[in-house]
Amino acid sequence: MKLLTKTTIYYVLIATLVFGVGGTVTYYTVLSLINEDISEYFDRKELNYMTKIASGRFTPRTHKTHGHSHHKGVKHDYFHHHFEETDQNLKLFHYGKSHNIYQFITPPAKITSEINDTTLTMGEWQISVRRKCVVRKVKNAYYKICIYKSLEEADDEIEAVIGTVVYLFVSLLIVMLVANYYLSRRLLQPFHQTLGAIKGFRVTNTAPLELQQSNILEFEELNTLVLDMTDKIRDDYRNLKEFTENASHEIQTPLAIIKSKIELLIQSSLNDEQMQHLQSIYEVSNRLSKINKALLLLAKIENQQFQQTHTIDLGELVTKHLQNFQELIEMKNICLKTDLQTSAQISFNPVLADVLISNLLSNAIRHNYQGGEIIVGLTHNVLKINNTGTTDGIKGEAMFERFKKGNNANNSVGLGLSIVKKICDTNQIDIVHLYRTSVHEFQITF
């Protein structure tokens, strides 16, 4: 996940939390204010009605002239139509648009007060109403005063608050995301430029890295560290390269002298025992020379000294090496089967391609038995080399370890397959080894 995406997710989570808490607090604050306002409305109405009853300004209205059906289904706020008291101890004293007042025939058992909300449904419309009923003694009589207040306006206010909070949240979230995207891209531009320079860094390229200047301290420290590290890597690479070249030269020169002296001695008059000793020395010096060359090649591959690539026809390359090994194949009476597609082409370093194919075919011949079989198959991106042979329990990834060799490979230095593996790894090529029913299979996917 990218840093920009990660920070955006955190911003969204924080914004959601802040607006969620803020919206909840705002909702309950507005709800409390609305309830307080309705409560004050009920108190004012109650006091007003009690004053009118006490002063005699209320003309008794003991019979309602019409009911809800009078409004013919039109939404209205004449709530007294919808509420009737069934208590036989009550008689209607007065009614109005938003109240019903009843007089007790006999004094009530206790003074009560109740508030409840209800939803009135008439036909196709609904309306929420809050109803407060209190029992009060005015002069020498008891009255039950029922006051009704529509909650529709309160619901509209709450919906407006919720809508405003949601609108602000969405608007600010969009602004924040857009601002974060462009600001982060601008702020992280030096970092991405440095990252691109690191990706394009090649140890063989002596040109210094060009890193973008930044007024951000952390990015400047990163650039300084990257430059120091790349300089150190180049120095280490140069020292290692010089060491391997010098070591190879210093080893090869004495070996060449030893071999030439041995060849001179072999041509002189020596007895059989002396000849055997010289032969052993000669074989050991040859083996040491091969090991030195193989290790030097591995070091060069690891140091990425084979950078140039060309388009190579794998079919032609395999055919060429099979012709070179033809005598060895015939000497061991090996049956060779090939299925090559000459159109299989890859972009590869020519030297490494030669070493890769040569080592694989040489390994298939060396570790085969007399009268065995080699099958070479090539498609547009897969090369398979199968050969009959035994195993000492070494298979899979262990086959590519250095100095791993079978007991029947006395002439091998144990580095051929290690070189093959290193070539494949350096060029991002997959190679696998399988062994089943006395057959070794090497499969390379380009």
Question: What is the chain's mean pLDDT, rounded?
Answer: 82
Give the pLDDT score at 70: 46
pLDDT category at 73 given cuts 50, 70, 90 is: very low
Helix H segments across 146-208?
A: 152-187, 189-199
Average pLDDT for 149-153: 86
User: Of 14-28, 57-71, 122-136, 335-349, where does mean pLDDT reach its minimum?
Assistant: 57-71
74: confidence class by pLDDT, cuts 50, 70, 90: very low
Tell me, what's the pLDDT at 72? 46
For residue 3, pLDDT beyond 80: no
Counting runs of H as helices and runs of E as strands, what totals does the chain give?
9, 12
pLDDT of residue 23: 82
Q: Are 94 and 58 in contact (CB under 8 A)?
A: yes
Which CATH number is 217-300 given?
1.10.287
Task: Parse the chain into domains and list their residue ranges.
Answer: 217-300, 308-445
Strand residues in 281-397 grouped as ranges (E): 310-313, 335-339, 345-348, 373-378, 382-388
Predicted local distance difference test score (pLDDT) of residue 167: 87
Q: How confident is the model at residue 75 (pLDDT cuts 50, 70, 90)?
A: very low
Say what the pLDDT of residue 135 is. 93
* Predicted pLDDT of residue 43: 92
Q: Which residue has the higher pLDDT, 359 or 380?
A: 359
- % of the chain exceeding 90 in pLDDT: 10
**Given this model, what pLDDT does residue 64 score?**
64
Contact by Cβ (8 Å): 420, 359: yes
pLDDT at position 342, please?
Answer: 64
Enter the CATH code of domain 308-445: 3.30.565.10
Burial of 202 (0-12, 13-18, 19+ CB in 10 A): exposed
Query: Residue 93 corresponds to which amino acid?
Result: F
> Given a cut of 50, is residue 217 above it in pLDDT?
yes
Cβ neighbours of residue 373 under 8 Å, at least 6 residues apart? 334, 335, 336, 337, 386, 387, 388
Instruction: Please state, in angstroms and as integers, the Cα–Cα distance from residue 176 to each residue in 5, 7, 55, 71, 238, following that order.
Output: 13, 11, 64, 52, 50
Highest mean pLDDT among 42-46, 164-168, 427-431: 42-46
Whole-angstrom distance between the N-terminal and C-terminal Cα of the chain? 29
Least confident of 258-262, 294-298, 322-326: 294-298
